[in-house]
Structure formats: C-alpha cells, structure tokens
Amino acid sequence: MDEKTLDRRQWLRQSGCGFGTIGLAALLHSEGLLSADQLGDRALQPLAPQPTHFPARAKRVIWIFINGGPSHVDTWDYKPALSKWNEKSIREFDPDFTNTTGFFKNAVGNLMQSPFKFKPRGECGKMVSEIFPNLGEHVDKMAFIHSGFSESNNHSPALFMMNCGMARMGFPCVGSWVTYGLGSESDSLPAFVVMSDPKGRGLPKGHAANWSAGFLPGVFQGTHLKPTGSPIDNLERSSELSADGQRRQLDLLQALNRVHLEDNSESALLARIESFELAYRMQSAAPEAIALDDEPEHIQRLYGIGRPECDHVARQCLMARRLVERGVRFVQIYSGGMENQRSWDGHQDIAGNHRQFAGETDQPVAALLADLQQRGMLDETLVIWCGEFGRLPIAQKGAKPGRDHNPHCFSAWLAGGGAKGGVSYGESDEIGYKAAVDRTHINDLHATILHLLGLDHEQLTYKYNGRRFRLTDVAGQVIQPIVTSAATSIG
C-alpha cells in the first residue's frame, strides 16, 4: 500500500514500535517520509557520502549569515564618491530616480557618506572599513562580489531568496541541497547545523523555513542548535535509564520493526530505524563536539571567548570549526535576530548599529579563518559572509540617520574551499546604488557554491510534482573569475 494513503489505524500499527524513541528521531528532523523512487538505494541510508559530479575543492561549508542586510557601502564596497555627493539629493546624481527600493518611502533623505574610514589592507590593497580591524587581515584569502542583486526589498522573501533561491517559502535551502547532493561525512552528527543569535534577538524572519528541506525528504533539513541552555533537546539519556538498558530497548525496537519489514519492505520505516540509531550515537558524539572547554585557552582567547561584546559569536564560530572537523557538512551561523530590530537592519543610527554588530563578529570570524588555515582545513572548507540584501547610499531620516533596504546591490565574500583570494568581482555604480558591472544574481552565487563542492547546479535536481527542481531554478552561472584555476578546470 502506498505510504501516503495509510489510514490512522494502519499508520499506528506500522509505526507504533518507534514511539519510544520518536523524540530522538525528531532531533534530526528525519520524520519526513523518504521516497525510494527519488533516492534509490539511498532511501536506506540517505546521508551516506555521495560522489561528486567532478573533483571538488571544498568538502564543507560555514556560512556566516549577516542577518538584516549589511550596508555594502559601509563595509566592503568603498565609495569615495559618496563624500563628493554627501548631503545632496540623489536626483542630482540620477534625475530619473524614483524611490521604489526603500522600505520606508517617506523617510528618504539625501545621499550620505559612510561614517567609517576605509584603508587598504593586505597585499591586494583591498579598501576595508575600520569596523573590521581583524577581518581586514584576511582579505588576501577572500574573493569579493560587489555586484550582487536580489528580487525583494522585504526581509522574509529576501531571506528565502538568499537561502533557497526562491522569494517564497516551501523550497529547499542551500544546506539541504548540499547534504542531499553530498551526504554526510559523519555517522554520529547531523549533516546540516544552524545556529542563531542568543542575545534575545530571536530567529531571522521566516524562522525555520530558512533552513527547511522543503520538498526534499525531511532528513536533509537543518538541525537548529538552541542559542541558550542545552543546544539539543533530549541529548542526555534519562537518569532512569542505564546505557545498557537503552541499548537493549533500541535493539528490541529494531528487532520488532525488522520483523514488520520482512512482510512490508518499506524503505521509509527502515530509514527511520537508521535515524534512531544515529540519534543514539549522537548522545555520545554531540556532547564531545560542542564541548568548547576542551579547547586550549589560547584558542578560546583567539576567538574572543570571554569578551562580552563577542562571546556568543565566538562560541558559535569555534563550535562550527569543531563540527566541520568531525564531519558535519554544512554549518550556518546567523548574526543578529529580528526582534526589536536587533540585527544589521540599520534603519536608524547606521554608525552605531554596524559598529556594534561588526564588533560582535569581527574577531570570531577572523579567528575562524586563521584557525582553519593553521589546521590545514581552509583549503577544503568554504567560508561565506553574506546577508539577504544591501542598503541604500541615501540616508533614512532621523536624529541618527540610518539606511534603508537595497535589493539592487549587495556585497559578499567567499574564502577557502577553492575561492580565489585577494580578488574582487563586479562593481556597483559610483555611489553603490545599483550593481553595474558583471551583475551577479543570487542564482549565480548558488551555482558557484555548488561548483566549489563538486556539484553541477544543472544536474543536482529532485523530481517533485512532475517537475525536476534545482536550487538555481532555470538560471545561474558559475562566477569563474573568483574560482581558483584548479577548480575552474574541472567545471
């Protein structure tokens, strides 16, 4: 009988033996039914490592998501012309300007120069804002994109666009596509982990839809580590149950389920059995992976652990390194939430907002790059710094002016994992209002990320509702100038 047509009594009969450990299975979001005709042999072991389409430069990804929309003209995209046009109407620069971009149309001010000083950094001479004293030391490792653009000026659809390639919810995110395409290097930890801001700022707009598996099997969904308290619920075994007792319990459940399988041959049930075993193994592996106190004191200091302004991001960045070191395929860290505008969403006081959030992330992310490099891991770990859109070069009016949303241009950088260091691709216009040269759609960014992981974005597909879907929909081109020659030659 088709799994989707089971009535309640049949479903209870077939899955009842798993109730004892259903809480553990939920930890890995693996209760979504697996489709054998989609995954083939993988239906039994959906997270088993998979071959790439061609030799990969990166094996894993750490994405620092700059939630709220960082201002490119105040961070990485130096625009000296803004000083020339400071406090002048944008219509003096562009007589045809109409404010169809910003979110607050009645708060449009004049052009505003950056409140931050820029200076050249690294051998490449990249102009970097003063708010990144530590990250500026690593520009020779970074490939910058200065001509990114999106399709929405609103946070939720822009977040979905950046994470899922579509401006509406219901589609798989990048991390889910990557784990679907590559599987996991660990049999004891989730393949895809997400961490969010713990300072009472909440989750990003759209919440868990940003790391959803969409129509992919649920096993590929991101596992969210709670920002306070125990990162994973039910990770510790009940005090009323011994290790031996728990093992016997799982063995009994497995035996009963396998007896049922002999007559039914349901791949979804067998996959669920495997997820129970993975959840059981996590009880040993996960506590060790997230035990930051095991790290030497000098490493903790390197990341900024103990410094009030950046301790939370420092812990997440160090945890990310420990997780990828142990086989986790994809880690995403959100800087800032969306409660009370506590994010990079600098509508007011862009100077204070960006100085604060840069101060929270600068040392930890720089330490992550340095730590990965000294461990010999950076070449195979792709680190991404990017938000959902940029911000306008004009001021948003107020006692302390800010900047409104700008989907027409944003900046991002990639480091390690086959990204070419010390280069910049694309350009915004003279004042940073729109992407002007080598315009780069989010589909192109996604195609490049998959390419560095050895995946052809046109071949990585999943059939759903009669159509083969992909992360890049029907578009996307690999940004070859920011890919190292070794990676370029394989794609």
What CATH number should be reported for the domain holding residue 116?
3.40.720
Does some domain include residue 282?
no
Phi, psi for 227 (deg, rounded to 5): -75, -20
Residue 273 CA to residue 304 CA, distance in Å, equals 41
Range 259-266 contact pairs with CB under 8 angstroms and sequence separation of 24 or more: 260/14, 260/17, 264/14, 266/3, 266/14
The pLDDT of residue 47 is 87
pLDDT of 296 = 96
Would residue 394 count as lying in a domain? yes
246 assigned to some structural domain: no
Structural domains counted in the chain? 1
3-state secondary structure of 1: coil
- What confidence tens digit (pLDDT) does each residue in 317-362 have? 999 999 999 999 999 999 998 765 689 999 999 999 999 999 999 9
- pLDDT score for 324: 97
Residue 274 falls within a domain, yes or no? Answer: no
CA dihedral angle for residue 335, residue 337, residue 338, residue 339, rounded to 10 degrees: -140
Q: Are 415 and 141 in contact (CB under 8 A)?
A: yes
Give the whole-angstrom CA distance, residue 103 versus residue 1. 51
pLDDT digits (tens, 9 = 90+) for 41-88: 676 678 899 999 999 999 999 999 999 999 999 999 999 999 999 999
| Residue from 320, 383, 387 nearest 353 by CA | 387
* Residue with token string 């620092």: 64
Residue 198 CB neighbours (<10 A): 16
Domain that holds residue 171: 41-226+298-337+347-421+442-488
Query: So what's the pLDDT on residue 125?
Result: 98
End-to-end CA distance of the chain: 43
- What is the structure's pLDDT at 284? 60
* pLDDT tens figures, 275-317: 555 555 556 666 777 889 999 999 999 999 999 999 999 999 9
Would residue 235 count as lying in a domain? no
Q: Is residue 24 part of a domain?
A: no
Divide the 491 residues of the chain into consecutive groups of 10 and give the mean pLDDT of each group: 48 40 38 49 79 97 97 98 93 75 78 98 98 98 98 94 95 97 91 88 90 91 80 60 67 68 54 55 68 94 97 96 96 86 91 97 98 98 98 94 96 98 98 97 98 98 95 96 74 41
List the one residue out of 181, 223, 169, 234 whose CA is nearest residue 59.
181
Q: Is residue 362 part of a domain?
A: yes
Are 160 and 206 spatial neighbours (Cβ–Cβ below 8 Å)?
yes
378 token code pair: 């950076």
Domain membership of residue 256 (yes or no) is no
